Structure 1
Amino acid sequence: MPLVPLQADVLGPDYRVETITLPPDSEGAVVATLVSLEPERPNGRAVLHVHGFADYFFHTEYARWWADRGYAFYALDLRKYGRSLREHQTPHYVADLGEYFGEIDLACWRILQRDGHERLIVSGHSTGGLTVSLWAHERQPPELAAMVLNSPWFDMHGSAWLRSPAARAAIDRLGASRPMREIPRKVSTVYGRTLHRDHGGEWDYDLAWKPLESRPIYVGWLRAVRRGHAQLHAGLDVACPTLVLSSARSYFGEQTEETATRHDIVLDVEQIRRWASSVGRHVTSIAVEGAIHDVVLSRPEVRAEAYAAIGTWLEAWVEAAPSASGEQDDQRGEADDRDHGA
């Protein structure tokens, strides 16, 4: 159990929240925030979820689904996002995705060492899916049992020129010399309006933390993402089973409520599936018909299909595998058998 008292979160009394103090950066003090939900019947395993761009954790149905299976659920609001955003900070800005590794490490220490969970599943959405893949490759934690990636951002969609060596070199140079230069872009609010309950959607979340109009994109941040993409494309070596979920289709035409509620209108799902196998040695890719960018926020019948897919995959590749302690017990048992002449 935690050695420090935890406070109730904005999501309600079942959710606990704690602040993780991080080393200051050029803008000043920096924190991350860890939210947790305890299961009624714990199985000794835990999930750590990392959100995407211009986002934060509010996915209570997703958390409850894991808790109902016995997993302690944790979600990390990364630095400069959601609960962790402070007035003196530029929202979401980092110059290197590796800056997030420190807070993921500290969250994992709390989950595994302090709270005593044996095995960990890491979950990531969109940019968070890219970040946790890079983290898992870099850290290779022995307790990592699996990863679940929900529409991970694995490449730059749009015209082929944006993915060309010339474009990448230009972003690299400009990101180094003028990192805080904002990249002009048109942002539709259709996706957000189809999600939020005040605009006809199903979900209740803080529009100050997840604005309908998204957030500005800066060249230095995009440089960090493109460098992450390049590392992924060169091939990562994540050993644990990994599930990559995406919509069956993207749509980049005129955005309407109909297209926004049945397609991924944020990322190119063909790119997600193309690069999924670059994560590691054991990757399963599943396309969910009618899903949106954040698959677990899709329409109820689509969510049900997505959860069924996650459950089947877990049963086949994760929950059927022995835990670390179980493996040790088996080894001790084999040694005892040998000692007794078995």
Structure 2
Amino acid sequence: MSAPLSPPTPDVLGEPWVQRRISLRPSPGYDGQPEAVLVHRRETTSRQAVLYLHGFTDYFFQTAHAERWVAAGIDFYALDLRMSGRALGERTRPGDVRDLRDHDEEIDAALDAIRADGHEQVVLLGHSTGGLVAVSWVDRHPGQVDAVVLNSPWLEHNGPWAERVLLTRLIRLLATWLPSVVVSHLDEPYGRWLREQGWDYDLAWKPVEGFPMRAGMAASVRREHARVARGLAVDVPVLLCCSTRSGSPSSPTEEELRSADCVLDVQHMVDRAPRLGPDVSVVEIDGGVHDLALSPGPARETYERTAVEWAAARLAAAQQGSA
């Protein structure tokens, strides 16, 4: 039995958006009773839906992007994962997730709710860390969704060999004994640039400097990276979208900030894509930034059109195949 959801209540985004809180099982190491929050439009009209999983130091606020899916006849749901966004509450260690697989509980509950709302086909949409969570979950839960869309997924650590190999070993040791110890911080330029572009979001839930990365979370991410490197068996079509180039995370130029991924290495995404499953398409978006849904207009339009049209076509093909 999946975790219970509260009745819909008005969301901070205003009408027509509502939220349902998901009460999760108490787990060792978590600050108080963990919960997640499912956000969606008050009225759903389609038998198709997308479930969005945000990245690290993030939450759902991209309503304009959501409306593109709704306009195509695909209802939009978003999950604020435990220790993030709407699910933070008064917790003092935001983002302190000990194992990415802990998110299975809220994903299962969200999908049960989406099915209960009458949706027969579901696309899982993941950004950055949410993309890693998405492919890991689908690999371990075959037959549960119909397609996967990845927006700049975090499939490998963006750092030199010493960090990817030697530091990973140290972090694994730390995670065993001191899982909440801070091991790194995000770089600030990308977050500052997003605010300068006028994107309006809650800085308590998505601070410019990001949440600190802690040992338990970092070790879990690296475990999932290793699984991706060995090869997954995602059983549904996957679309991976990313920028055409990477920029410097710590000291990007202004031109890189507005037209490159200044958080992750896009070559890692392209290289890892064939290892996700047998049916993976890669589309590189010229001028895209890390969150392609927050890119400057032309790149954002290209990404949204590509993702929505691809998903609609794959869902239609799957429907015909099952008829």
Instruction: Quickly say closer, same or farther: Cα 1:184–1:152, change in 2 above 3 A.
Output: closer
Counterpart CA distance in 1 for 2:6 and 2:206 is: 29
Map Cα deviations across residues 61-91 of structure 1 (whole Å, 9 max, x no partner): 1110111111111000000100000213411
Cα RMSD, aligned residues only:
1.8
In structure 2, the residue matched to 1:334 is none
Counterpart CA distance in 2 for 1:15 and 1:273 is: 35
Q: Say whether the 8 Å CA contact 1:241–1:318 is kept in structure 2.
A: no
1:55 paired with 2:64, answer: no
Shift of 1:38: 5.6
**Of residues 306, 309, 315 in structure 1, which corresponds to 2:306?**
309
Shift of 1:136: 0.6
In structure 2, the residue matched to 1:133 is 135
1:191 paired with 2:190, answer: yes
**Of residues 4, 7, 10 in structure 1, which corresponds to 2:9?**
7
1:61-76 to structure 2, matched below 5 A, reads 61-76=64-79
Counterpart CA distance in 2 for 1:263 and 1:117 is: 36
Instruction: Quickly say closer, same or farther: Cα 1:89–1:170, change in 2 above 3 A.
Output: same
**Of residues 232, 238, 241 in structure 2, which corresponds to 1:236?**
232
In structure 2, the residue matched to 1:37 is 41
Shift of 1:321: 2.8
Counterpart CA distance in 2 for 1:235 and 1:64 is: 34
Counterpart CA distance in 1 for 2:43 and 2:257 is: 33
**Of residues 205, 209, 218 in structure 2, which corresponds to 1:209?**
205
Counterpart CA distance in 2 for 1:306 and 1:124 is: 14
Q: Say whether the 8 Å CA contact 2:48–2:73 is kept in structure 1.
A: yes
1:32-181 to structure 2, matched below 5 A, reads 32-37=36-41, 42-112=45-115, 114-142=116-144, 144-164=145-165, 166-181=166-181
What is the one-letter code of the residue matched to 2:106?
A: E
Say which SS state the counterpart of residue 205 (structure 1) adopts: coil
Instruction: Quickly say closer, same or farther: Cα 1:298–1:123, change in 2 above 3 A.
Output: same
Map Cα deviations across residues 194-253 of structure 1 (whole Å, 9 max, x no partner): 212xxx313111011000111111112100110111111111111111000101000117
Counterpart CA distance in 2 for 1:299 and 1:141 is: 36
Map Cα deviations across residues 267-321 of structure 1 (whole Å, 9 max, x no partner): 0000011111111111001110110000110001111111222244235433233
Say which SS state the counterpart of residue 309 (structure 1) adopts: helix
Q: Say whether the 8 Å CA contact 2:245–2:266 is kept in structure 1.
A: yes
Structure 1 unmatched ranges of 5 or more: 331-342
Instruction: Quickly say closer, same or farther: Cα 1:38–1:320, change in 2 above 3 A.
Output: farther
Say which SS state the counterpart of residue 57 (structure 1) adopts: coil
Q: Say whether the 8 Å CA contact 2:123–2:311 is kept in structure 1.
A: no
Counterpart CA distance in 2 for 1:248 and 1:274 is: 13
Single out whichever of 310-319 and 116-125 deviates more from structure 2. Answer: 310-319
Q: Say whether the 8 Å CA contact 1:151–1:295 is kept in structure 2.
A: yes
Shift of 1:191: 1.2
Q: Say whether the 8 Å CA contact 2:189–2:251 is kept in structure 1.
A: no
Counterpart CA distance in 1 for 2:103 and 2:279 is: 24
Structure 2 unmatched ranges of 5 or more: none
1:277 paired with 2:279, answer: no
Say which SS state the counterpart of residue 213 (structure 2) adopts: coil
Structure number with greater Rg is 1
Q: Say whether the 8 Å CA contact 1:190–1:256 is kept in structure 2.
A: no
